[in-house]
Amino acid sequence: MRIFTAALATETNTFSPICVDRRAFEESLYAPPGMHPSTPTLCTAPITVGREVCAQKGWTLIEGTAAWADPAGLVNKKTYEGLRDEILDQLRAAMPVDAVVIGLHGAMVADGYIDPEGDFLSRIREIIGPDILLCAELDPHSHLTEKRCQAANFFVVFKEFPHTDFVDRAKDLWSIAVDTLEGRVTPVMSVFDCRMIDVFPTSKEPMRSFVDQLMATEASDADVLSLSVIHGFMAGDVPEMGTKIIAVTNGNGSKGADLARTLGLELFSKRGTFMVSQIDEKQAVDQALAATKGPVVIADIWDNPGGGTAGDATVVLAELMARGAKNVAVGMIWDPIAVQICMAAGEGAEIQLRFGAKSAPGTGNPIDGLVKVIKLVANAEMTFGESLAPFGDAAHIHLDGIDIILSSVRVQSYDPSLFTALGVDPLTKDILVVKSTNHFYAAFSKIASDILYCSAGTPYPNNPATNPYRRVRRDIWPMMANPHGNETI
């Protein structure tokens, strides 16, 4: 067997002012054929898992380019077309192939392309023809368009949020692909449109039990090859945004359609109950200062670079400073210029510095102060499960009893190693401030005495009922109370 694999991924917040060019991919991950590291990034696990599978089978794996940019705003047209055509040319050179296994995110939007993944998969299908297997792994915070479904045989989606299972789901993707190529199964994909948009953390109920139910069904029913939830991405202003259920069955499309519908209506019946309770910055600081044991983690959930924001909001930091909080660590604030200034000053220097709140309204005001540069690290990185997440040149500064990590590459706060990489021991702090909606939970919950989910400022469009969408359809909840009409729920 000859199998082609590649990855092209980012998540586009169409409201974000941070545009994505080729440099953004190169800062996060750009790996030409054969140059992908042994550890996967969030959307490139099909490549690393494919190496293991094909080595065991004695099959030939032809690797194309892997490119991942951390979430931001609109992707530059030439950047998307250039990376797309680079991979398509590699596929043409690899022909004939028996299958194509791709890593995608699924929420990319590029200038001139409202559905880049649909465009990409359709072009792959044109090259390989109608009979060659084409499958892909997706992030659940994606858009499942009709064009993509027509092009691909099946999708497998991360089940967990935080996304701790991207390697396991890549293994599922390859398992179904192998069984298909060896004639044991015929995957048929069924999709149900839940007609809703919500946030579904699997670290709490009711989504925890729902995902456990999906996995139990996969394990107990031989006809069911894979069940997935496309959560949808509310910051993506695209026509087919929303939550959907995918059922992949072994040649039984009617069973898959019924199962997807049943699961989708069950999910819809719990709408509005999934997201964690949120408090504002004043309440968060009140509770953190009143705690008798640390570290208390304040999650600045809407200034999340993983959702495409700049990650430079200062609202929570300003509140902590106004309250005289000490023994606090903040990780991270994105400010490449401030990092450059710190790098020039050197470790141990005391300098006047202005940092943060440069990207957009609703992110607070820049912070001004006499800071001490504690530690400087070139090409810093933190861990995220089995992966490494770079955050570029970084500076650890100290200001009025608060340790602050400044980064030059936008990335959300995945793991306490973001602090230790810059010489901060998070276990010794009373309060930790992180910028992440839920990916932080897997690692930080292990060290936190408490976790406070803070909604501070307005860096992210977090209310779909009032977001200023131009393209999103209006026949979904919460824009419409009951878009399923009289259908039994």
Let me know whether 304 and 425 are in one domain.
yes
- Closest by CA to 110, choosing from 11, 5, 232, 246, is 11
**Count of the separate structural domains present in the chain:** 2
pLDDT of residue 385: 84
Asked if the structure places residue 470 within a domain, the reply is: no
pLDDT of residue 32: 98
**Residue 462, SS3?**
coil
What tokens appear for 446 in the block?
């292990």
Asked if the structure places residue 463 within a domain, the reply is: no
More confident residue, 101 or 34: 101
pLDDT of residue 386: 81
Q: How far is CA 307 from the centre of its chain?
A: 7
Let me know whether 30 and 179 are in one domain.
yes
pLDDT of residue 360: 87
Let me know whether 129 and 241 are in one domain.
yes
Give residue 489's pLDDT band: very low, low, confident or very high (50, 70, 90).
Answer: very low
pLDDT in tens, 468-487: 999 999 999 999 998 998 66
Asked if the structure places residue 472 within a domain, the reply is: no
Looking at residue 317, its amino acid is L
Let me know whether 312 and 199 are in one domain.
no
Class of residue 116 by CB neighbours under 10 A (exposed 0-12, middle 13-18, buried 19+): buried
Where among 208, 241, 270 does a domain terminate? 270
Let me know whether 339 and 445 are in one domain.
yes
pLDDT of residue 486: 64
pLDDT of residue 257: 98
φ/ψ (deg, to 5) at 410:
-75, 125
Asked if the structure places residue 436 within a domain, the reply is: yes
Let me know whether 309 and 221 are in one domain.
no
Asked if the structure places residue 168 within a domain, the reply is: yes
Asked if the structure places residue 468 within a domain, the reply is: no
Average pLDDT over residues 444-454: 98
The C-alpha atoms of residue 402 and residue 432 are separated, in whole angstroms, by 10
Let me know whether 250 and 366 are in one domain.
no
pLDDT in tens, 208-243: 999 999 999 999 999 999 999 999 999 999 999 999
Asked if the structure places residue 480 within a domain, the reply is: no
What tokens appear for 366 in the block?
């820049």
Let me know whether 256 and 288 are in one domain.
no
Q: Is residue 160 over pLDDT 60?
A: yes
Where among 270, 289, 314 does a domain terminate? 270
Domain span holding position 445? 281-454
For the chain, give the percent of residues with pLDDT over 90. Answer: 96
435 within 8 A of 304, measured Cβ to Cβ: yes
Buried b (16+ CB within 10 A) or exposed e, 269-299: ebbeebbbebbebeebbeebbeeeebbbbbb
Let me know whether 41 and 134 are in one domain.
yes
Q: Is residue 123 over pLDDT 50?
A: yes
Distances 192 to 149, 166, 261, 450 between C-alpha atoms, Å: 12, 23, 5, 37
pLDDT in tens, 322-339: 999 999 999 999 999 999
pLDDT of residue 487: 63
Q: Is residue 387 over pLDDT 90?
A: no
Let me know whether 193 and 295 are in one domain.
no
Q: Is the peptide bond before 162 cis (omega within 30 degrees of 0)?
A: yes
The answer, as to whether pTM is greater than 0.85, is yes
Let me know whether 169 and 299 are in one domain.
no
φ/ψ (deg, to 5) at 91:
-65, -45
For the chain, what is the mean pLDDT?
96
For the chain, give the percent of residues with pLDDT over 70. Answer: 99
Let me know whether 244 and 305 are in one domain.
no
Asked if the structure places residue 461 within a domain, the reply is: no
pLDDT of residue 361: 87
Where among 247, 270, 293 does a domain terminate? 270
Q: Computed from CA positions of residues 129, 135, 139, 145, in that sequence, does the dihedral angle turn out positive or negative?
A: positive
Q: Is residue 191 over pLDDT 80?
A: yes
